[in-house]
Structure 1
Amino acid sequence: MGRLFGTDGVRGLANKDVTAELALDLGVAAAHVLGASGEFEGHRPRAVVGRDPRASGEFLSAAVAAGLASAGVDVVNLGVVPTPAVAYLTGALGVDLGVMISASHNPMPDNGIKFFARGGVKLDDAVEDAIEQRLGEHWDRPTGAAVGRMSTDTGQSGAAYVRHLVESIGGSDDSAPLTGLRIAVDCANGAASEVGPAALRAAGADVVVINASPDGRNINEKCGSTHPEQLQAVVVASEADFGVAFDGDADRCLAVDHAGVLVDGDQIMGVLALALKDAGRLAQDTLVVTVMSNLGLLLAMRDAGVRTVQAGVGDRYVLEEMRAGAFTLGGEQSGHIIMSDYATTGDGVLTALHLAARVQQTGQKLADLAAVVQRLPQTLQNVAGVDKARAGTDEVLREAVARAEQALGDTGRVLLRPSGTEALVRVMVEASTQHQADEVAADLAGVVRERLAL
């Protein structure tokens, strides 16, 4: 049996892979591993539990909460909130752990369980392994007054999260820094359907909202950051200054400029990096990206005097690099962007607010700000049915990659990456022209197919 935890918690088809029984057992195991800090300090461990609007989140959050309470943890049910809200509140409320029930940008039938340790930080591999090892073990059950208690948040925590977001750009009861901006918002019928528009309005923006009517079944359905087509049309039709699109749990944000052109995570990172650098708040003038970020971002940052550090694919690896170097900004092309001065994980609403603040402060259109990142043509080919384990060791393949890199020079690059979940190798090529990128990718894919055949 493979490892239960993936790159972002436990995820799979709800009620098949991710069951109520598993959720309850994970709640118990997490209580024993993460709740121990409260016991050591002489108080009953405490936890917060949130979820996105998927129908399956109702029974899964109840099961997790039951497992935690049965193990002696007091649980506050936050209801439907974004993943970054759970992370923030875990730290702000001083509880011992947080749990989010969500499959993020995945289709509605999927769901997942992700944990946050004290302070609202994601778990490292060793802690996840410790939780997994505690599943199904014998344990002494508390009885009587020692069992955990459950309560439901009345909305105060969500309001505190919104205040935190607005204050991060200087907003307050007396200050509305986004006044005069019209922003279209696609909430993906997800967890930010209330707090996303609320935060932008509290900061003074005129907000046009779409896909903010979750019914338990329509999350991410042809909307949000994975399907920005609706937002692109609405931005133009409503004459908005720009638009933002969240995913189902609002840890990602993509944008659309006034003309309906998509602005991806690489471009957003470029805009925010320069904003922080201008303000003297970009730690060590460094931006953390992944190996999948477009070379155009790296070149733009080099020209602007910003160093880039590359991490593996996945926000947890970006965060590891940020912590190791004490950096303040990092993220992924997908729009998962971490601003560590204000958050311990990617936060789509926070990203949207800071992007809007940069537009307001400069008086420039988002299209002009995003133009600092000139994306190089990129081609990605997935070569299936091969021995991905030999992708980094086959000498003929390595020589083919070296020849391609030499031919591309400084205006392109090659990335061969074995898939983490499938028997395939991803071949990504960036070049000065689309024709060259396509041609080099096709040639390398042929070498992969021939040399790594099963």
Structure 2
Amino acid sequence: MAEKLFGTDGVRGRANSWPMTTDVAMNLGAAVGRYFRRDTQDHRVVIGKDTRLSGYMIENALTAGFLSTGMNVFLLGPVPTPAVGYLTRSLRADVGVMISASHNPASDNGIKFFGPDGFKLSDEAEDEITALLSAGVAPAAPENIGRARRFEDARGRYVEYAKTTFPAGLRLDGLRIVVDCANGAAYRTAPAVLWELGAEVIAIGVEPNGTNINAKCGSTHPETAAQKVIETRADIGICLDGDADRLILIDEAGRVADGDQIMGLIATRWAKMGKLKGDTLVTTVMSNLGLERHLNALGINMERTNVGDRYVVERMRAGGFNLGGEQSGHLVMTDHTTTGDGLIAALQFLSFMVQGHEKASALARVFTPVPQRLINVRFRAGATPLEADAVQAAIAKGEKDLAGAGRILIRKSGTEPLIRVMGEHQDTAKLDAVLNSIVDSVKAAC
């Protein structure tokens, strides 16, 4: 297999095209099953999915692969990605699987794997699985083939767990909350949790049909929830993505708060409470320079990793930190979760609102962002534009032009055929000129 199978967040691609085909999914299930089988009587795997039509196809193919190696499969149905991480540990499974392409359109799908500890797999584990896949996996003997069954109370278990992360004795009584579930995996869990905690819930993006996940709704289109917040005079809007591991917030005036602002708030509050381990927030190279300056002024460290919540979590675990995330809205609080969890992050924000009797607008802007621009340049398969001399020269010149007061980040997306050109600088005219020059050189190289 010439192309790399695993990307930034598992395996992802267009449904019914490599690598998101039934044969790859079945063989991958067999390879992962062989990799994780332990010397126990009962080998277990839990499989969740979002609401994409292709999820049925991938689910059945993966199940066949796992069963062929003797793994017993628990099918969770549509649940958020963090629910899979939680239930993998709760059910003492050998491995957890989430079938989702997260914020991508319905035509895409993906497969994410969790180890028995509920955390996403390391690069080393993925490399070993890829080697098993290439070598071929011997099937189990007929009498050792696994069994599959639906796990009926998966959603209920996650709902109850999510509520335990909200401070005891607090309720959401009197709050009107718009929650946009992106027609995705949390379309039933998120409204249920908020309602059971006492809120008046206005739910949108809760009518999945297999093809409308993330379509003009959810965290990638917060304007839909913002309009509903204004229309209904809600106190706050919560925007999740297709698998509910991302969170974008809307204040009562309809203004959007991204992951940087939410992380900035939680880090600041936790530091004051003595809850922020190592006085450190872990985030990625994409987070705004304004967040870093804000935290440093308060004596809080900010460590950056490569893009991908998996890398954020790896650094958190290595350093003993308990808060991290991404500007895109992945927020990881390892006191509660093993991966990004949009709903549980929202509950943390709501607890600050309730405890301090504060409006969302008073909490959702903790720092002034440095102007940031991000331009995506699509390239054809097989092209390597970042290796071109002209592109490297344009990047070097841009870094020199912005030196001391800003920064440039150029990277290849790990989930799509895109070159992401990002820059930050207080002088937006200078920033635009630098980025446009780089973009032009990338386009020419493509």
TM > 0.5 fold call: yes
**1:415-440 residue CA offsets vs partner (Å, 9 max, x unmatched):** 33355578875442222243332234
Alpha-carbon separation, structure 2, partners of 1:358 and 1:333: 20
Q: Classify 1:168/1:310 alpha carbon distance in 2 versus 1 (closer, same or farther; 3 Å).
A: same
Alpha-carbon separation, structure 1, partners of 2:16 and 2:375: 33
Alpha-carbon separation, structure 1, partners of 2:55 and 2:399: 48
Secondary structure of the corresponding residue to residue 244 of structure 1: strand
In the alignment, which residue of structure 2 is the partner of 1:119?
117
Q: Classify 1:206/1:433 alpha carbon distance in 2 versus 1 (closer, same or farther; 3 Å).
A: farther
In the alignment, which residue of structure 2 is the partner of 1:429?
423
Q: Classify 1:350/1:449 alpha carbon distance in 2 versus 1 (closer, same or farther; 3 Å).
A: closer
Alpha-carbon separation, structure 2, partners of 1:44 and 1:427: 48
In the alignment, which residue of structure 2 is the partner of 1:83?
81
In the alignment, which residue of structure 1 is the partner of 2:400?
403
Does the 8 A contact of 2:353 with 2:359 survive in 1?
yes
Q: Classify 1:351/1:424 alpha carbon distance in 2 versus 1 (closer, same or farther; 3 Å).
A: closer
Alpha-carbon separation, structure 2, partners of 1:356 and 1:433: 35
Does the 8 A contact of 1:404 with 1:414 survive in 2?
no
Alpha-carbon separation, structure 1, partners of 2:138 and 2:26: 16
- For the aligned residue pairs, the C-alpha RMSD in angstroms reads 2.4
How far the C-alpha of 1:398 sits from its partner, in A, is 6.6
Q: Structure 1: which 5+ runs fail to align?
A: none
Higher mean C-alpha displacement, 49-58 vs 161-170: 161-170
Note if 1:60 corresponds to 2:54. no
In the alignment, which residue of structure 2 is the partner of 1:10?
11
Q: Classify 1:178/1:305 alpha carbon distance in 2 versus 1 (closer, same or farther; 3 Å).
A: farther
In the alignment, which residue of structure 1 is the partner of 2:296?
302
How far the C-alpha of 1:227 sits from its partner, in A, is 1.1
Secondary structure of the corresponding residue to residue 102 of structure 2: coil
Note if 1:238 corresponds to 2:232. yes
Does the 8 A contact of 1:386 with 1:425 survive in 2?
no
Secondary structure of the corresponding residue to residue 16 of structure 2: coil
Alpha-carbon separation, structure 2, partners of 1:405 and 1:251: 34
How far the C-alpha of 1:225 sits from its partner, in A, is 0.7
Letter in 2 for 1:299: R
Letter in 1 for 2:6: F
Note if 1:158 corresponds to 2:168. no
**1:272-295 residue CA offsets vs partner (Å, 9 max, x unmatched):** 112222221111111111111111
Higher mean C-alpha displacement, 101-110 vs 354-363: 354-363
Secondary structure of the corresponding residue to residue 371 of structure 1: coil
How far the C-alpha of 1:442 sits from its partner, in A, is 3.5
Secondary structure of the corresponding residue to residue 189 of structure 1: coil
Letter in 2 for 1:205: A
How far the C-alpha of 1:139 sits from its partner, in A, is 4.4
Alignment of 1:325-344 (within 5 A): 325-344=319-338
Letter in 1 for 2:356: T
Alignment of 1:158-307 (within 5 A): 158-171=155-168, 175-307=169-301
Q: Classify 1:8/1:426 alpha carbon distance in 2 versus 1 (closer, same or farther; 3 Å).
A: closer
Higher mean C-alpha displacement, 218-227 vs 133-142: 133-142
In the alignment, which residue of structure 2 is the partner of 1:20?
22
Alpha-carbon separation, structure 1, partners of 2:427 and 2:264: 22
Q: Classify 1:62/1:94 alpha carbon distance in 2 versus 1 (closer, same or farther; 3 Å).
A: same
**1:173-192 residue CA offsets vs partner (Å, 9 max, x unmatched):** xx453222221100000000
Which of 79, 86, 93 is the matching residue for 1:95? 93
How far the C-alpha of 1:397 sits from its partner, in A, is 5.1
Alpha-carbon separation, structure 2, partners of 1:160 and 1:382: 39
Q: What is the aligned length?
A: 440
Q: Classify 1:133/1:328 alpha carbon distance in 2 versus 1 (closer, same or farther; 3 Å).
A: same
Alpha-carbon separation, structure 1, partners of 2:123 and 2:350: 35
Does the 8 A contact of 2:8 with 2:414 survive in 1?
no
Secondary structure of the corresponding residue to residue 121 of structure 1: coil
Alpha-carbon separation, structure 1, partners of 2:123 and 2:388: 25
In the alignment, which residue of structure 1 is the partner of 2:360?
366
Q: Classify 1:182/1:3 alpha carbon distance in 2 versus 1 (closer, same or farther; 3 Å).
A: same
Higher mean C-alpha displacement, 115-124 vs 140-149: 140-149
Alpha-carbon separation, structure 2, partners of 1:420 and 1:70: 31
**1:154-197 residue CA offsets vs partner (Å, 9 max, x unmatched):** 22x322211211111224xxx45322222110000000000111
Does the 8 A contact of 1:415 with 1:428 survive in 2?
yes
How far the C-alpha of 1:371 sits from its partner, in A, is 2.2
Does the 8 A contact of 1:52 with 1:102 survive in 2?
yes
Secondary structure of the corresponding residue to residue 98 of structure 2: strand
How far the C-alpha of 1:391 sits from its partner, in A, is 7.3
Does the 8 A contact of 1:386 with 1:423 survive in 2?
no
How far the C-alpha of 1:69 sits from its partner, in A, is 1.4
In the alignment, which residue of structure 2 is the partner of 1:133?
131
Secondary structure of the corresponding residue to residue 23 of structure 1: helix
Q: Classify 1:188/1:453 alpha carbon distance in 2 versus 1 (closer, same or farther; 3 Å).
A: closer
Letter in 2 for 1:162: V
**1:301-340 residue CA offsets vs partner (Å, 9 max, x unmatched):** 1222211001111111111211121111111111011111
Secondary structure of the corresponding residue to residue 174 of structure 2: coil
Q: Structure 2: which 5+ runs fail to align?
A: none
Secondary structure of the corresponding residue to residue 48 of structure 2: strand
Secondary structure of the corresponding residue to residue 77 of structure 1: strand
How far the C-alpha of 1:445 sits from its partner, in A, is 5.0
Note if 1:317 corresponds to 2:311. yes
Structure 1 stretches of 4+ with a deviation exceeding 6 A read: 383-386, 421-424
Does the 8 A contact of 2:402 with 2:425 survive in 1?
no
